[in-house]
Structure 1
């Protein structure tokens, strides 16, 4: 075989090998690329039905949606009906501070679970008649469904045994708050904390329940709940503040008027929504 003939076959072999290699490379890349792209998309976890419908990721957990001007006017009208009022806030929202300042003769208490926010408040602002207390919540938003069942079945959570002094088996009772919170008669209670916008974050179940019990210790209390477009706030308000007591609403705010009494068959006179 001549050298030219051998060189011809060698070139054909090299070209064929190069062609086959590139073909296999393209096939491998095409086969792997979809799974690689899918691997970057996080799977959506399954939560209980009571998870708020607006979930944020952990990176933006500290962000919160501000009150609209109409919502602030609505809340201001409730508070300023009588300037000498006692105001209790679950959640230290800076937008509430001017409203608290307008209450000249009453007592104003904020209950906040964010230590950093409390520190910023103490360093940057001075408001008379305003006290801020640190509070810790043990129940997370993702467990709200099971906690509602507990609230219905646990005798210590019932109307006759609701208490905050001493031992209690009710997981909804905030029994470690300052004593003045339980002893004072509150004219307005605003539930805007904890944030409750992530399944692993503290939810507002205990805050709403505690507001309902505290309101019934007074002679007439307005309880205002924020973010009622979220399932936790909506269901726990229906359960313990009662739809019959809902007197007004604006935006994401519900205003309940509690007259200081319990119904004979529980917190609310209406039939409870069935949970499975």
Structure 2
């Protein structure tokens, strides 16, 4: 995800990307309207906030807002159009679905609009950044996450994984898993109680030693995918795979054999449930 202090205007690619995004969003709007006509709606829990109910009843509004946002913004998404299209093509076939995104940024409105009839949740490490993004996109659903890792610990955490029984693929749990440092054990019930059809890992920060790094996000995404009870696979998208830690942890937990596509700095994995593959991650 693209944070404010790292985003900047790039005129040489801005208009091309904006036009492409508007085209993708227009396609998503058509799909949304088709699904509405077909009465393929998601039920709305009576306890949901009024804003969430509004989006369920008017999903095309989110799409129109996203089109307006990207058509008039000087800030462009971090992923390029070829990387975005990989996730878009999956969402196009799976929506409405449960879509979990690690990271919040200027592209969040785009991801939410692609799944306008589904449930899209963003997990972000910086509470102030959440406030900044939600000022312009109040209908985006985001939660803050406290990570207990640092990028400088990446090698040590690999050793910890091999030695700590609670990290084992045989146990494979994250809720309340205080023994495994790679398990995101303090997320909301919403994260734990849903089966996520798609998981995008584009955060937390992982480019300086004191940053949380994406080790725990990658491990926890793999555990969520392995614990799937529903039909089919879990689609996991990992960005910034040119970096050492992302690549090592992807091959350790997401597995090269489940890698189905890679474009630019993005890898797409289709991970089956543990019941179909046994007691090891890879």
List per-residue Cα deviations over 1:34-74 (Å, max 9, x = no partner).
xxxxxxxxxxxxxxxxxxxxxxxxxx994268211211122
Find the aligned partners of 2:163 and 2:94 in 1 and give their Cα distance: 39
Report what 2:48 is aligned to.
none
Kept in 1, the 8 Å contact 2:103–2:122? The answer is yes
Number of residues of Structure 1 aligned to a counterpart in Structure 2: 207
Find the aligned partners of 2:112 and 2:136 in 1 and give their Cα distance: 16
Q: 2:181 aligns with which of 157, 162, 171?
A: 171
Kept in 2, the 8 Å contact 1:61–1:198? The answer is no
Q: How does 1:172-251 map to 2 (within 5 A)?
A: 172-218=182-228, 219=230, 220-251=233-264
Find the aligned partners of 2:259 and 2:110 in 1 and give their Cα distance: 25
Give the RMSD, CA atoms, in angstroms.
1.9
Find the aligned partners of 2:4 and 2:246 in 1 and give their Cα distance: 18
Deviation at 1:165, TM superposition (A): 3.0
Find the aligned partners of 1:239 and 1:136 in 2 and give their Cα distance: 23
Max radius of gyration: which structure?
Answer: 1
Q: Are the structure 2 counterparts of residues 153 and 75 from structure 1 closer, same or farther at C-alpha, using a change threshold of 3 Å? A: same
TM-score, normalisation: structure 2: 0.69
Q: Give the secondary structure class of the aligned counterpart of 2:94.
A: coil
Q: Which runs of 5+ in 2 are unaligned?
A: 8-76
Q: Give the secondary structure class of the aligned counterpart of 1:109.
A: strand
Q: Which moved more, 1:157-166 or 1:133-142?
A: 157-166
Higher relative contact order (CA 8 A, sep 6+): 1
Find the aligned partners of 1:216 and 1:86 in 2 and give their Cα distance: 16
Kept in 2, the 8 Å contact 1:90–1:192? The answer is yes
Higher share of residues assigned helix: 2
Find the aligned partners of 1:167 and 1:267 in 2 and give their Cα distance: 17
Q: 1:137 aligns with which of 144, 147, 160?
A: 147
Kept in 1, the 8 Å contact 2:203–2:214? The answer is yes
Kept in 2, the 8 Å contact 1:247–1:255? The answer is yes
Q: Which runs of 5+ in 1 are unaligned?
A: 1-59, 269-276
Kept in 1, the 8 Å contact 2:260–2:269? The answer is yes
Q: Give the secondary structure class of the aligned counterpart of 1:229.
A: coil
